[in-house]
Amino acid sequence: MPEAPEAKPVAAGRQLLFLREEELRLAQDLLFFGYRDFTAGPDAILAELGMGRAHHRVLHFVGRRPGITVGELLAILGITKQSLGRVLTPLVEEGYVVQAPGRNDRRQRLLSLTEKGEAMERRLFERQREWVMRAYREAGPVAVEGFRRVMRGLMGPEARAQLDRALPEAARAPGAKPRSAA
Amino acid sequence: MPEAPEAKPVAAGRQLLFLREEELRLAQDLLFFGYRDFTAGPDAILAELGMGRAHHRVLHFVGRRPGITVGELLAILGITKQSLGRVLTPLVEEGYVVQAPGRNDRRQRLLSLTEKGEAMERRLFERQREWVMRAYREAGPVAVEGFRRVMRGLMGPEARAQLDRALPEAARAPGAKPRSAA
DNA sequence: GCGTTGGGTCAGCGTCATTGACACATCAAT
DNA sequence: ATTGATGTGTCAATGACGCTGACCCAACGC
């Protein structure tokens, strides 16, 4: 770990790539403040409804993959069954999410959003969309591409695999020329 | 937020900038997974010591601005006095942080890290440094610059101001040509 | 029929945040 | 010198979100 083997001397750019102390401290600050404010909008809406970030995540990932099983959702979120239960059960009870027995395996509970759930997710989505849109617009397309590359790099290998699996393929770059992996 | 008025049907370059549904969903995923895994390293170390992310944040910001007052720290973290107290008091008791009365205003408690606190912060720092370094290296310098611009854009105006104030000026772009506000 | 798997649930714990209320020392101004 | 505002600390209660351990049930698969 200490003294990373310098990787291969990356030609000229090395100077820029060497992570100086202050560069990381800046990254820490940016991620802390950025993530906090990124979630602030939805958080406010959720709070009014007596829900939290965890509920949003469930709505998000269920909305993204309707018919997802509980087990898959657990794997994506990386939490325990009990933790999910405390959030999922109320969502079902209050009619945001429906459970349907699996066709092949009837032990499974396939999750999907109700209309109410979709509306809710939509509302949270729109709030966040405004926010991210502003940031993207200010930063410009090149920066956005860079942002994606770095964030992807910050993910662990498992998360990266999940992300790929989670994306309905078509979604990965809809209409955009598949410019490498990025 | 309901029924975003479709914005006006866009011009040309706007196509890239218009935040399509899937683009935002991707951003949500990236931020969720990325932030989670970014904090995973320090979290593990902290857990061993019976501490949490909140402790890390205090160590980080106190280390960044030795002599910071409690009030300033509260403003940066955006939490309440009570929440900070629960984390700060143990840090002081266990000798990670020292409090010194302010010279001008003796009501103030100027916070700074002890040697033990610096060592701890250092340890967390190094762990995170490896992680971010890898992401930066894989993504390349242009991407890193883009990442910074977008993250900055995701911050609210207050956080942005705080960030600027928090940075010891020299730190903001050490050696890099100050390319506007970014 | 029996073990495994998918899912749910009870009980208890810990962290991190909240609000409201109060205490105390110090500063600053009258 | 009193008075009021400020900086900090603290008690008590609450809630969201995560965890472990233990146990249950229904359905699958052999």
Residue to mutate among B18, B142, B150, with most A CBs inside 10 A, is B150
Tell me the CA–C1' distance in angstroms for B147 and C18.
33
Tally of structural domains, chain A: 1
Nucleotide closest to A103 measured between CA and C1'? D27
Kindly state whether residue A132 falls inside one of the protein's structural domains: yes
* A32's tokens: 């802390």
pLDDT of residue B132: 94
Distance CA A51, CA B22 (A): 25
Does the residue B63 lie in any domain? yes
Is there a domain that residue B30 lies in? no
Residue B120 lies in a domain: yes
Classify residue B154: in a domain, yes or no: yes
Closest nucleotide C1' to the C-alpha of A83: D18
Q: What is the residue range of B59's domain?
A: 38-165
Test mutation, B3, B32, B43, chain A, max A CBs within 10 A: B32
The integer distance in angstroms from the CA atom of B74 to the C1' atom of C28 is 24
State the residue for tokens 């010591």.
B49
The residue ranges of chain B whose pLDDT is under 70 are 1-19, 166-182
- Asked whether residue B45 is assigned to any structural domain, the reply reads yes
Low-confidence ranges of chain A (pLDDT < 70): 1-19, 166-182
Check: CB of residue A84 under 8 Å from CB of residue A74: yes
Q: Let me know if residue A8 belongs to a domain.
A: no
Question: Cα angle at B22 between A24 and B24, to 5 degrees?
Answer: 40
Which string of b and e fits A39-55 if b means at least 16 CB within 10 Å? bebbbebbeeeebeebb
Q: Which of residues 5-64 of B touch strand D (CB under 7 A)?
A: none
pLDDT at residue number A19: 57
Å: A159 CA to C21 C1': 45
CA distance A89 to A76: 18
Give the distance, in angstroms, between residue A36 CA and nucleotide D16 C1': 16
Instruction: Report chain A residues whose CB lies below 8 A from the CB of B155.
Output: 30, 33-34, 37
Per-residue pLDDT at B165? 75
Cβ density class A155-175: b for 16+ within 10 Å, e for less = bbeebbebbeebbeeeeebee
For B24, the closest chain A residue by CA position comes to A129
For strand D, is any atom closer than 7 Å to the CB of A51?
yes
Query: Residue B64 carries which side chain, given as an amino acid letter?
Result: R
A98, amino acid identity? V
| C-alpha pair distances (Å), A154 with each of A27, A56, A150, B75 | 11, 22, 6, 28
Contacts of B136 in chain A (CB under 8 A): 17, 19, 23, 150, 153
Question: How distant is C1' of D19 from CA of B174, in Å?
Answer: 42
SS (H, E, C) chain A: CCCCCCCCCCCCCHHHHCCCHHHHHHHHHHHHHHHHHHHHHHHHHHHHCCCCHHHHHHHHHHHHCCCECHHHHHHHHCCCHHHHHHHHHHHHHCCCEEEEECCCCCCCEEEEECHHHHHHHHHHHHHHHHHHHHHHHHHCHHHHHHHHHHHHHHCCHHHHHHHHHHCCCHHHCCCCCCCCCC
CATH number for the domain harbouring residue A34 = 1.10.10.10
Classify residue A147 by burial, with Cβ atoms within 10 Å: 0-12, 13-18, 19+: buried
Is there a domain that residue B136 lies in? Answer: yes
pLDDT of residue A163: 83
Q: What is the ipTM of this complex?
A: 0.85
Judging contacts by C-beta atoms under 8 Å, the chain B residues touching residue A4 are 130, 133
Q: In this structure, which amino acid lies at residue A52? A: G
pLDDT at B163: 84
- Closest nucleotide to B83 by C1' from CA: C17
- Residue with token string 């705080």: B162
Task: For strand D, list residues 88-127 of chain B whose Cβ lies within 7 Å of it.
Answer: 88-89, 99, 102, 105, 107-109
Predicted pLDDT at B164: 80
Kindly determine whether residue A144 and residue B146, on different chains, have CB atoms separated by under 8 Å: yes
- For the four alpha carbons of B170, B171, B176 and B182, in that order, the dihedral sign comes to negative
**CB spacing of B20 vs A174 below 8 angstroms:** yes
